[in-house]
Structure 1
């Protein structure tokens, strides 16, 4: 069955796939079906050797304006526990290939949390980020209190979470939440350009480097350094390492094969 709420475009650039959230009438609100389709698409791309980087976007008006409140409004605590909607988010967190969010318009609540589940964020000048859950009597539940705090620090995260205030793309850039701000007509192009730069490199090294960076959030410095070193040594078993270093010695461009 074809996905209803996302569209997947493979090879929008060499070894780069693009997933677009596609519920425009609901500002791409993240209901259970959309998140399930996104999880399945990401897992399929993660298993595809021809894809080395993934771009995730919404449309110019909204990346995603939050969770689908109508879907949750009348649920009980037990309903939420049984539904276990965040298991889908946990599966997306395990994607090994780099993911870049291309954000324009609203990235609010779950939408903001989804951008932070990606590895990098390119935003248009119109992008607005926020965790406004407090305004409807709840709080972030998909990482908003944790990833946001790690990205921008306690004081800024407290302000956003406890007041529900949105921040502009420039504020997000200044705070370290995102990588780049560009005109609205360029945000997707710039995200694909960044993904293409990464996709041209050794996919094994990229995966292991991503894994090591993410590990830094879950462990001590000493344990993180040990993990980094093990991944570094392991890459010397790869053909890509031999090719990359030999190409450097021979002053030519390397041809990486992911082996």
Structure 2
């Protein structure tokens, strides 16, 4: 079991906390291996994941000491890239709570989440070119999708970092809250998701991740499957019955008046 990733079962979701505070949660090989193990679990259990960091930071980047020793074969192996791709492809939503530094590989891990919640101390971006490398674990294609081509180009080409207010204005995070409130919001979102139909949630995530060329065919295919599901019948029947009872009660109340 890894000591760099704490995993807590919160019922509606798993909370995974990057736990290398002495290194500002820099992403090393041990942490990558632990994230792969977590993905293997969630690919079977199919539950929502909340990602957070310990010690006041999300992740200040990849572990530079390890990164310095990597060579061309390591780059081609996509050590962080494959890990973050796997997180992005998890069946159920991934929510990231971003406190303090989310830089380099830490930012790219955040970009792999479906929902990001910031805190006032957030500083996020990709300073890789200052270290003689590029942001090669997802930033060059995910960041433009999130914040648009113009801002993504400026961030990646100049190393510009965004603070919490800028990240919120750019749509990189959906809210900025104090740390405890941010984690509470992530929990609230996970609990809301847990009340929904898992099959419909997973189908929605698949359609969101599909390339533009797959639409609208993918929606129609996913909907066709859901239209035949027992859960769709159960949930719609329950909805209609609730509405009928509510309408009946309102009519009876008017009659009494």
| TM-score normalised per structure 2 | 0.89
Q: Which residue of 2 aligns with 1:219?
A: 212
CA deviation after TM superposition for structure 1 residue 114, in Å: 0.5
- 1:64 is aligned to 2:65: no
Q: How does 1:14-163 map to 2 (within 5 A)?
A: 14-48=11-45, 52-59=47-54, 61-81=56-76, 84-163=79-158
Given the alignment, which residue of 223, 234, 253 partners 2:225?
Answer: 234
CA deviation after TM superposition for structure 1 residue 84, in Å: 4.4
Structure 1 stretches of 4+ with a deviation exceeding 2 A read: 78-94
2:85 touches 2:112 (CA, 8 Å); kept in 1? no
Query: CA–CA distance in 2 between the matches of 1:140 and 1:23?
Result: 22
More helix by share: 2
CA deviation after TM superposition for structure 1 residue 208, in Å: 0.4
Query: CA–CA distance in 2 between the matches of 1:115 and 1:84?
Result: 16
Query: CA–CA distance in 2 between the matches of 1:234 and 1:212?
Result: 13
Number of equivalenced pairs: 243
When residues 234 and 7 of structure 1 are mapped into structure 2, their CA distance, relative to the original with a 3 A threshold, is: same
CA deviation after TM superposition for structure 1 residue 123, in Å: 1.1
- 1:247 is aligned to 2:242: no
Deviates more, 1:63-72 or 1:52-61: 52-61
Give ranges in structure 2 of 5+ residues lacking alignment: 244-257
CA deviation after TM superposition for structure 1 residue 244, in Å: 1.2
- 1:169 is aligned to 2:160: no
1:60 touches 1:105 (CA, 8 Å); kept in 2? no
Q: C-alpha deviations, 1:106-132, integer Å up to 9, x for none? A: 111111111111110011111111111
Q: Which has the larger radius of gyration?
A: 2
CA deviation after TM superposition for structure 1 residue 87, in Å: 2.6
In structure 2, the residue corresponding to 1:181 is in which secondary structure? coil
Give ranges in structure 1 of 5+ residues lacking alignment: 253-259
Query: CA–CA distance in 2 between the matches of 1:83 and 1:185?
Result: 34
